Structure 1
Amino acid sequence: MDSEQTTNSQAIQDGQTERTSIAGQVSPSENVVWHRGKLYRKGYTTGSCATAAAKVAALMVRRQQLIYQVSIVTPSGVTLNLNVEDPSIEGQEAVAAIRKDGGDDVDATHDMLIYARVSLQDEHNDIVITGGQGVGVVTQKGVGLPIGEAAINKTPRHTIEQEVRDVIGPNQGAVIEIFAPEGEERALKTYNGKLGIQGGISIIGTTGIVTPMSEESWKRSLAIELEQKRAQGLETVIFVPGNHGERFVTEQLHMNADWVVNMSNFVGYMLQEATRLQFKRVVMVGHLGKLIKVAAGVFHTHSHVADARMETLVTHLALLGADNALLQAVFRCPTTEAAMELISEQHFEHVYDHIAHAIVEKVRYMLRYANQAPQCDVVLFSYDNVVLGSNRPPQEIAEVDQ
């Protein structure tokens, strides 16, 4: 997961599921991944389904005719041509569905229909996006969306609005309802309930594409990028867990995007690779909920492997003298993001610097036998793109040149 995102992945399922059909077609090289001589099919996210459904519904209202195929460009730049199911038009309102295809990836939402109902509005030119049947509602802080909001993440909201706006023009308004009749049942196989998302699935996806890949193959692909940057003469690398971290590095820290490498959940592996390649400096930038695990000595940060977030946060608060009431309240929070308000109320924000220093120490200990371990810096941020803590002033970290 990218940061502490909600997920529609199944909580427990071993192996790969064989699938034989794909509704969306992209070029052959983009549609598959090879691993150890076996072909794995890519898929597309619930966010892509919702975007395509909304776009085609808007087109049907405009043209007053049923449409059975639609094309969208995903945030990663891949074009999808998707089959439309169950289309209907009634005056200034249209409904359409796209069938979710997760490719050869384990996904609780595979093969379900994601619907969009688009109603054009003449009295205003706003585009309003809501969630209907089967789309979860946020009931707790900590997932990057306000309480009471439909669980439609920021990237899908942006792509839905952008595609519909392109269809209806700048002066027309629209209300877009995203719904999934099977969503409530499917959500029981996801982590949504634990994260305070009730009543359905999440509409998610930062790239729009689901890429199935074995862990070893995935790790190797990340290491190849690291090798390329070292071959280009770079001596500093910035490790981020995902797309959110990469954006934070460039937009908030104003550091060079060319230094950034996605480490995903493979923190220990990528640190060892950086050491092998003799990088002089590693900067780790990520959401607190992801990197706090490293402060506990957890170097594979996927929730399937280990989850020590709240235990680690409580430990560091206790070391700084927090009272039992705060420790109990923080421990009951579902995510670190949800705990931030409690920590702020009690003026314990310095715990984040404490955690950043602990991460650096854990990295130093893990690499203690290396002849020349890289210098490590850590920057922790929140969903609101605010620096929470660092092992030294972030301005100093950002100003160091290659």
Structure 2
Amino acid sequence: MQTGWVTTAGREGSTGLRYGWTTGACATAATTAAYTALLTGDFPDPVTVDLPNGKHPSFALATELIEDGAASAGIVKDAGDDPDVTHGALVSARVTHGAAGTGVTFRAGAGVGTVTKPGLPLPVGEPAINPMPRQFIREHVEAVAARHGGTGDLVVEISVQNGEELARRTWNPRLGILGGLSILGTTGVVVPYSCSSWIDSIRRGIDVARAAGHRHVAGCTGSTSERVVSELHGLPEDALLDMGDFAGAVLKYLRRHPVPRLTIAGGIGKLAKLADGHLDLHSARSQVSPDALATMVRDAGGSLELVEGVRGANTALDALQQCQAVGLPLGDLVATGARDTALGVLRGAPVEVDVVVIDRSGTVVGRA
């Protein structure tokens, strides 16, 4: 079965792409169905939940089970048109009555991680079910209890099928969330290509680094730049931020939550875009400007022939190679421009910035 919904706001207005639902929304719906069955013997199918901003999606149940003193329900996550790692995952809730006065107690089932490092919005030892999904679940447990004469004292165990394997494709191991995925979501809605979970992971990565007392972190565009920075500075894994294309997310969060030193590392193409003032480095949202590179070369005293060669370059790497052939340090110029952009975003926050530019092989071709 696939999830469905009754809301008519199923598509994002500017793109026509289909919204999806977070793991937190799915866990809330599964808990609502399971608790209803625990109290009444019947599963609501589909089960409707109330989310912020007037959304009331309904979810078809993929699994249901009543056993002695427990009820379980599962929902297949539909992430809409977003390339979400958990799209199609089975999110399940198993509920049992809790001791009087204990309210809702959360447990991590198979495929849901446990927090092992400080700095996250949950204490060490807690299931990785984030605060907003916990709030959604508590509110729906209270509503079900009010409708069907329950106490609202409930043990809720959330599971995600194959969650431990899926978590290896996320930030969780680096953040110290071990054993599986996090149950996420602030509104319950997945906006296609908003990359909100990646940006949230960047923020949590900074929080964990700060809590660990690290005074130097690195924002890296990929695994090669991460390896280079590790070799240059010997930084531990939890000081390495998998920045990807989201330089702006790193810089804006560090502006509010500073760390004394930041290294930005990446390929010359992405960092040329940062030098040109772009904070989102994805190829669909920003492009390398040959004119900007040509201006750098001109201002550095490059010959007219070189300036025009760079202006006509196919890629930033092509421009770099032209400059290397005549001894002009385009990599250093790009690094300096990227650093200037970063300092502008930081707006005087107490963060020392250095930039490392690499080529595709991982060779350092520029620093500032």
Deviation at 1:377, TM superposition (A): 6.5
Go from structure 1 to structure 2 and tell me whether the alpha carbon gap of 1:63 and 1:306 turns closer, same or farther (over 3 Å shift): farther
Go from structure 1 to structure 2 and tell me whether the alpha carbon gap of 1:142 and 1:119 turns closer, same or farther (over 3 Å shift): same
**Distance in structure 2 (CA, Å) of the matches to 1:76 and 1:336:** 35
Greater CA deviation, 111-120 or 77-86? 77-86
Deviation at 1:204, TM superposition (A): 0.8
**Distance in structure 2 (CA, Å) of the matches to 1:93 and 1:159:** 21
**Distance in structure 1 (CA, Å) of the matches to 2:160 and 2:342:** 48
1:25 corresponds to: 5
* TM-score, structure 2 as length reference: 0.55
1:46 to 23, 27, 30: 23
Go from structure 1 to structure 2 and tell me whether the alpha carbon gap of 1:303 and 1:76 turns closer, same or farther (over 3 Å shift): farther
Go from structure 1 to structure 2 and tell me whether the alpha carbon gap of 1:334 and 1:364 turns closer, same or farther (over 3 Å shift): closer
Deviation at 1:64, TM superposition (A): 1.6
Go from structure 1 to structure 2 and tell me whether the alpha carbon gap of 1:172 and 1:155 turns closer, same or farther (over 3 Å shift): closer
Bigger RCO of structures 1 and 2 (CA < 8 A, at least 6 apart): 1
Q: 2:161 aligned with 1:181, yes or no?
A: yes
Residues 42-121 of structure 1 aligned to structure 2 (within 5 Å)? 42-121=19-98
Q: Which structure is larger by alpha-carbon Rg, 1 or 2?
A: 2
Go from structure 1 to structure 2 and tell me whether the alpha carbon gap of 1:288 and 1:177 turns closer, same or farther (over 3 Å shift): closer
* TM-score, structure 1 as length reference: 0.51
Deviation at 1:55, TM superposition (A): 1.1
1:289 to 192, 206, 216: 206
Contact 1:68 1:87 in 2 (8 A): no
Q: What do the CA deviations read for 1:256-313 (whole angstroms, capped 9, x no partner)?
A: xxxxxxxx99xxxxxxxxxxxxxxxxxxxx88929x9xxx9x9xx89669988xx79x
Aligned residues: 254
Deviation at 1:33, TM superposition (A): 2.2
Residues 134-145 of structure 1 aligned to structure 2 (within 5 Å)? 134-145=111-122
**Distance in structure 2 (CA, Å) of the matches to 1:88 and 1:204:** 25
Contact 1:71 1:82 in 2 (8 A): yes
Contact 2:163 2:180 in 1 (8 A): yes
Deviation at 1:179, TM superposition (A): 0.9
SS in 2 for 1:95: strand
Go from structure 1 to structure 2 and tell me whether the alpha carbon gap of 1:367 and 1:112 turns closer, same or farther (over 3 Å shift): closer
2:238 corresponds to: 334
1:211 to 183, 191, 195: 191
Q: What RMSD, in angstroms, separates the aligned Cα atoms of the two structures?
A: 4.5
SS in 1 for 2:111: coil
Deviation at 1:365, TM superposition (A): 4.2
Structure 1 unaligned runs (5+)?
1-20, 219-240, 245-263, 266-285, 316-326, 338-350, 357-361, 379-388, 391-402
Go from structure 1 to structure 2 and tell me whether the alpha carbon gap of 1:306 and 1:158 turns closer, same or farther (over 3 Å shift): farther
1:160 to 137, 142, 149: 137
